């Protein structure tokens, strides 16, 4: 398995390197099978510029068992809505062959991994602490009566 390209695509189908909060995007990973692979997993992760893993997933994690013949090109699309705080990040992508049944997805051989495939900028208008916006909302505040303490 060889990763041929990695892209962020916006809702208009354009390749982008600036991701805006609460906008919908697709991560597109194009991979070529160099041999028959019975159980293939394609995935990605996003890290901060300091190397902290923010999030990631793969076809195996999401329960998709895929087999590919030698010479086939595979294009995987992962959709997401950006919750990221403003800053600089890196998208990495990997293609692996699973060695054990679907329930044991962490036993694999990595055939290709493109470290920091896309450096990108996230822009956020919201005010929050941390790396991601959980969109947490204050729903109530109650004063506890003195006699109940």
Residues 47, 120: contact at Cβ < 8 Å?
no
Residue 139, pLDDT score:
85
Which pLDDT belongs to residue 137? 80
Residue 121's pLDDT band, with cuts at 50, 70 and 90, is very high
Residue 65 has pLDDT above 80, yes or no: no
Of 10-24, 61-75, 123-137, the one with minimum mean pLDDT is 123-137
What pTM did the predictor assign? 0.86
Position 77 scores a pLDDT of 96
Q: How does pLDDT run across 70-83, given as a tens digit for each residue?
A: 999 999 999 999 98
Q: Given this model, what pLDDT does residue 134 score?
A: 77
Q: What pLDDT sits at residue 147?
A: 81
Mean pLDDT of the chain: 90
pLDDT tens digits for range 80-108? 999 899 999 999 999 998 887 666 667 78
- Is the per-residue pLDDT at 39 higher than 80? yes
Average pLDDT on 49-57 reads 93
């Amino acid at each position: 398995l060889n990763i041929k390209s990695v892209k962020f695509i916006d809702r208009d189908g354009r390749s982008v390197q600036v991701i805006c909060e609460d906008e919908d995007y697709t991560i597109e990973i194009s991979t070529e099978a160099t041999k028959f692979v019975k159980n293939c997993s394609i995935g990605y992760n996003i890290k901060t510029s300091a190397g902290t893993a923010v999030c990631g997933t793969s076809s195996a994690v999401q329960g998709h068992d895929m087999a590919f013949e030698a010479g086939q090109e595979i294009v995987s699309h992962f959709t997401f809505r950006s919750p990221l705080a403003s800053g600089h990040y890196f998208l990495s992508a990997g293609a692996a062959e699973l060695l054990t049944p679907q329930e044991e997805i962490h036993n694999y051989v990595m055939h290709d991994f493109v470290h920091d495939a896309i450096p990108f900028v996230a822009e956020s208008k919201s005010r929050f602490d941390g790396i991601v916006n959980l969109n947490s909302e204050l729903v109530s505040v109650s004063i506890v009566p003195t006699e109940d303490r």
